Amino acid sequence: MDALIHAENLTKRFERHTAVANLNLQVHQGEVLAFLGPNGAGKTTTVRMLTSILRPTTGRASVAGYDVVRDARRVRAMVGHLTEFPGLYLRMNARDYLDFYGELYGMARPHRRARTDELLAQFGIADAGHRRLSEFSKGMRQKVALIRAMLNSPRVLFLDEPTSAMDPHSAKQVRDAVAQLRGRGHTVFLCTHNLFEAESLADRIAMIRRGALIALGTTQELKTRFLGAPLIEIQLAKRLEQPWSAFVEDGHVQEFGERYLRYRTETPQSTNPRLIHKLNAAGAEIVTVSETPQSLEQVYLKLVEEA
């Protein structure tokens, strides 16, 4: 797969403060990457470098094949960027505002009008198109900013906290839009503090702290790497005659009682059926077999606290 975002030792220093240090990252076409990190970790600076607003101090990066320094204007034309704050011109109405940005992106008038209609309808604010932005709620402003970012059908979309000011329904609309974009082959770089959103939308997660990338992988990979193998729990209806060690290796057992067992396995697909078969053969009455949920939040907190 082609990397649409490619960062190589990307570093940004302000005076003597290093905001981003030697960031190496590749994001492929049609991929959603969630970029997580505490406040001040370097997320916004990274996005600003990748959208050719800030120049890297050292290292290099390309977006959609264009160098972020050499081809800065091409990069800006290729990407959509939802900034941390909507930053709208509040005396304008939504349609005029979007038309202004469409024109700046070189879109022909019929095309930008059609696109504006389409996106306003998709986000459920078509009726408010002629109202002044100052009359919009926070969530509606956020939607307009998102539409601005999507207006030019960017190959790569950078979203900084896209649902931060939204009610659950609006947030779902945004998540659906992101999923739809991924389905069409767009690449989405999602900065968020909403770990549920990250887990549900992202193909991979990148975590950054104090400017350095501290983790990168799929949600499952990160959970396995940082929280250990999945924790399985078996509940029995009545006490087992034989000890648990007769059924499962000691090294895997985390906790047990007379009628329950918790164990870890990196190969649940093979370990679990084998164990259940043995228990059935021994006449055990199994009530439930379940995986104890491990959240991305646990991974995040563990990494941030450890680092």
Partner 1 sequence: MSESILTAPALAQAAMSPHHAFGETLRDAFIITRREVRDSLRDWRIVAPILILTLVFPWIMNFTTRVAIDFVEEYSATIIPIRLIPFGLMIVGFFPITFSLVIALETFVGEKERNSLEPLLGAPLTDASLYLGKLMAATALPLLASYIGIAAYLAWLFYTIQYAPDWIVLVQILLLTTMEALVMVTGAVVVSTHTTSVRAANLLASFIIIPMAFLLQAESVLLFWGNYAVLWYIIAALVTVDLIFIRMGIQTFNREEILAREVDEINPKRIVLRFIDQFRVEGKFSLRWIVFQNVPRILKSNRLPMLVTLAALVAIFCLGWWYAGRYPLPEEMMQPLRVQADFASSAPGADFAFMPQINTPSIFLHNARTLFLSTVLGIASFGTGALLLLMAPIGVVGFLTAALAQAGTNPLTFLVAFILPHGIFEIPAAVIATGLGLRLGATVISGARRGENSGFIGALADWIKVFVIVVLPLLLVAAFVEANITPQIVTFFFGR
Q: How far is the CB of 20 from partner 1 (least distance, A)?
A: 13
Piece in contact with partner 1 (CB under 8 A), picked from 35-43, 168-176, 184-192, 228-236 = 184-192
Decide: is 3 part of the binding site for partner 1 (CB under 8 A): no
DSSP the chain: --EEEEEEEEEEEETTEEEEEEEEEEEETT-EEEEE--TTSSHHHHHHHHTTSS--SEEEEEETTEETTTTHHHHHHHEEEE-SS----TTSBHHHHHHHHHHHTT--HHHHHHHHHHHHHHTT-GGGTTSBGGGS-HHHHHHHHHHHHHTT--SEEEEESTTTT--HHHHHHHHHHHHHHHHTT-EEEEE-S-HHHHHHH-SEEEEEETTEEEEEE-HHHHHHHHH-SPEEEEEESS--SS-GGGTS-GGGEEEE-SSEEEEE-S-HHHHHHHHHHHHHHTT--EEEEEEEP--HHHHHHHHHHH-
Residues 66-105 that bind partner 1 (CB under 8 A): 73-74, 76-79, 81, 83-89, 91-92, 100-101, 103-105
Stretch that binds partner 1, among 178-186, 192-200, 212-220, 283-291 (CB under 8 A): 178-186
- Least distance from C-beta 105 to partner 1, angstroms? 6
Judged by CB, which is closer to partner 1: 130, or 239? 130
| 262 touches partner 1 (CB under 8 A) | no
Work out whether 175 is an interface residue with partner 1 (CB under 8 A).
no
Nearest distance, CB of residue 14 and partner 1, angstroms:
6
Residue 109 touches partner 1, criterion: CB under 8 A: no
Residue count at the site for partner 1 (CB under 8 A)?
47
For partner 1, the binding residues in 145-164 under the rule CB under 8 A are 145, 148, 152-155
| 143 touching partner 1, by CB under 8 A | no
Please report how close the Cβ of residue 166 comes to partner 1 at its closest, in angstroms. Answer: 17
Which parts of this chain interact with partner 1 (CB under 8 A)? Answer: 14-15, 48, 51-55, 64, 73-74, 76-79, 81, 83-89, 91-92, 100-101, 103-107, 115, 118-119, 122, 145, 148, 152-155, 180-181, 184-186
